[in-house]
Amino acid sequence: MPLIDSIDGIRICIYNGDHRPPHIHARYNEYDILILIETLEIYAGEMPNKQLKQVYDWLSGNVDYALEVFYELNPELR
C-alpha cells in the first residue's frame, strides 16, 4: 500500500489494483476511512472528527495529486 502522505499520525494511502471510484484510504490507529477524491464524500469507514477534518483539509488541497497517483497506480481505470 503506497503511502502518499502522513499528517499527525494519519496515513494517506492509495492502493495498486484498486477499484472505482477514485479514492484515498486514510488510516489513524484502528480507524480506516475511504474518501472519494473528486467529491470528498465518505465511501466507507469512519474516523474521529479531528482527524477527519485533517484528512479533508489535506485532500481538498491535493485533489489533482491524489487523482494522478490513483490513475498512475490503476491505469486500467482511466
- List, for residues 41-64, the tens digit of each pLDDT value: 999 999 999 999 999 999 999 999
Structural domain of 55: 3-77
Backbone φ, ψ for residue 64 (5° rounding): -60, -45
3-state secondary structure 46-64: ECCHHHHHHHHHHHHCCHH
pLDDT band at 77 (very low <50, low <70, confident <90, very high): very high
pLDDT band at 2 (very low <50, low <70, confident <90, very high): confident
Specify the pLDDT at position 1. 62
Domain count, the chain: 1
